[in-house]
Amino acid sequence: MELWIYLGFWLLGIYTNYSSMLSIYLLGAFILSIPIFPWEVKGTRVIGISLCIFILGYGVGYFRLPLEYRSIDSPTDIEGRIISKSETKSDRLKYKIKIYKPKSLKGKKYITYLEEDILPGTVILNRTTLHPPEESPHPYGFQERTYYLGEDISFQGKSFEVSVLETSPRYRKWSEIIYKRLQNSLEYFPEEEKSLFSSMLLGNRYALDSQKIENLYQFGLGHILAISGLHLGILTGVFYGIISFITKNKRWSEHFSLGISFLYLFLVGFPISGMRVWLILFLSMILKRNRLPWKILYIPGFIMFLQTLWYPGVIFSFSFWLSYGAYFAILLMPKYLESIFYPYHQLAKVVIVTIGVHIFILPLLLTMESRIGILQLLGNIVLLPFYTLFITCGFLHMIIAFCLGTGVRIFIFGIHSLYRIIIYLESILSPFGKISITFPKPHLSFIFLYFFLLFFILRREKEEFTPKMRYSIMAYVLVFASIWSHQIWKDYLTPKVDFIYVGQGDSTLIRTKGLDLLFDTGGSHMEGYRPGKKYTLPYLQGKGIQSLDGVFLSHFDADHVDGLFDIMEKIEVKKVFVSHIPKEHPLIQYLSQNNIPIKKLKKGDRIEIPFGEINVISTGLEHTNEENDRSLVLDLVLKDFHLLFPGDAEEPLEKELVIPHSIDIYHVSHHGSKTSSTPSFLNQLSAKVGVISCGKNNEYGHPHKEVLERLHNAGISILRTDIMGSFYGKIDEEINFYDYRPKRYHNKDLLILAISYILFLWTMKKSMEDEDDLGRTVKKE
């Protein structure tokens, strides 16, 4: 138990560099708890060591984490060594490069895309610009900054000219030859199977089309695309079986199979997920052979420490936590689930392990997906065994074809038949994809509560809970439930308006007493760029929204409506409101095909909603071909506050508008374009706050300087999505705005975390009286 406390403070020290406020409060809760408990000598020693380890972790994070970013906007000569190379869907290759010069950037790493095929290990001079990863506009979508932080990447580079300064070492050239020979061993497979093997066995994720990748994730099988424990376990097991059959020597079989696994990892670029599994297998073998008195649960903890010592930023990688979470689940959960399946637990081992893993890593899954579906569980129970056999056969074919020549086709027919079975099973299971529940992204306090209670459940088999333990659990649950039930009820009775960052576009979410409405959806006219999928959909899912009661489309420009295609793939849309219905528009056809009611509004329409109403001020100018001036103009009234949404109305339409009252929040027309928000119109509004929705560094230069001056002269405060990202307003006695930029935690969150930690320490004292025996000591066979 003590080792896990030390590891926790080590990780907390590293994380403090990234989010100091949270860590300071957790550390403060620990320090304040010291005088509360009658710690004995052992407890005092644990406290002292924990604080020292926390400081050490903070120091490692401070010197090793690339948290400070600065752009190099003009092309600059950067000298560096290529660390890794991977294929992409285009003709260019993706490279990860460690910088040697200039000295100010020495040791930093960046990624760039080149048409040249250059071996890893080569030193190049690259004329490039460097830009830091983008800050996420809200916490629900892809977190580019933390993703690259977890990959030890500081910059993204745009290359203009490349020259080789030093050729790759000889061993790199041999590895390239071996890799290509392995790749050629797949040439006689059908294209779909070939791309799947190339992705799963050789780490070429881009070999698969996006639809196949999405299907695998829908079945909860995205992990088979990474070189992970499944692949290493299969490869090691195959070679162990072959060598032990030939030599009858288990020790040689273990050493040889681990050596082959290491060579395989070298060929595919030493992926982190694969290396951590290899180290666990390697240490397990050492402990087993030398009969060292370590428990098997200490092995992943030791590997976690080594990984974070080598590069502390790995704690920001989801694969890091998912891998270790799955490993702990496999060790801890099955024996607690076997009683449920008794006496059939031997027959239901796959089901038990799958359920156990999903239970253990549930908060992580919700953080990533915001939804849990029965299809993910069925995919791992039904499909994973077949994919495991598919991968095993693929490994065997590659090994034989590598040794005997690419013309060997022993397994091709069997593999093809196996893949047809997989496709058939996927078609049977696909209808279950509709059975899912969308959850809000879990709060940190929920994650703490979840693992806190799971900790006690897993201890139950060792000893009965003492009265003090029972009281602490009850107190914790009561405090948590009372605080959050009050907050949930308060939020339910408080209307909210969320201004979503969707790049260069518009989208606003209205939430009022269980009713969810969306004003515009974001989108783009650019091919391959999907703001609806990148921004709008993840935001809605992160809020736990499973259906939208109504979607209001101001007009039919792509940056206002195109995101609806992406939203409707995952979220039910009950009705769409428009100002006009253009002929042969693809969105209208799509809505009709999906039987979504379309209601055409007219001037003077009034829609009642909880705590307010929606009034249609205008449906645009009738005799014009300009979509902007056909915009739907809405007056949203919530608790006597007026919010005006004019779409992309320009000066001709603004002249026709009559606003019968002053406006509290003006959603600035046309993203702050100078063709809108005329001085006479602003004077008519008498608005207090203006919200401008526009993309960062957009090509149109929105918002225009003239409009900002007009708003300022009219006494209107300005809030902008290109600066703040997504933000929201709570409407009660007044309107308060909140954004998602890194900042303080709310008082209720800090209170929950502090109480959680103090109660955890209270019960931890009881646990420290003897070592936790949930882990199993590895014994020599």
DSSP string, 611-668: TEEEEEEE---SS---SGGG--EEEEEETTEEEEE-TT--HHHHHH----S--SEEE-
Give the H/E segment covering residue 689: strand 689-692
Give the H/E segment covering residue 684: helix 679-685
State residue 776's pLDDT score. 41
Q: Which position has the token pair 């092309």? A: 75
Neighbours of 323 (CB within 10 A): 25
Q: Are 441 and 542 in contact (CB under 8 A)?
A: yes
Bridge partners, residue 372, by sequence? 437
- Mark out the alpha helices in 34-165 (DSSP H runs): 41-64, 144-150
State residue 215's pLDDT score. 83
Q: Which residues of 511-538 are buried (b: 16+ CB within 10 A; e: fewer)?
A: bbeeebbbbbbbbbeeeeebbbbbbbbb
Q: Are 708 and 687 in contact (CB under 8 A)?
A: no
In whole angstroms, what is the distance from residue 489 CA to residue 487 CA? 5
Q: Any residues with CB less than 8 A from the CB of 629 and at least 6 apart, and which?
A: 620, 621, 649, 650, 652, 653
State residue 720's pLDDT score. 94
Neighbours of 375 (CB within 10 A): 21
Q: Are 383 and 230 in contact (CB under 8 A)?
A: no
Bridge partners, residue 516, by sequence? 511
- What is the DSSP secondary structure assignment for residue 536, as one 8-state letter? I
pTM, entire model: 0.82
Q: Any residues with CB less than 8 A from the CB of 760 and at least 6 apart, and which?
A: 452
State residue 56's pLDDT score. 86
Low-confidence ranges of the chain (pLDDT < 50): 36-39, 41, 744-747, 766-781
Look at residue 306 and give its three-state secondary structure.
Answer: helix
Region class of 370: left (phi > 0), else alpha (psi between -120 and 50), else beta: left
State residue 294's pLDDT score. 59
Count the helix, strand and coil residues of the chain and give each as a percent rounded to the nearest 5: 50, 15, 30
What radius of gyration do the chain's Cα atoms show? 29
- What is the DSSP secondary structure assignment for residue 440, as one 8-state letter? B
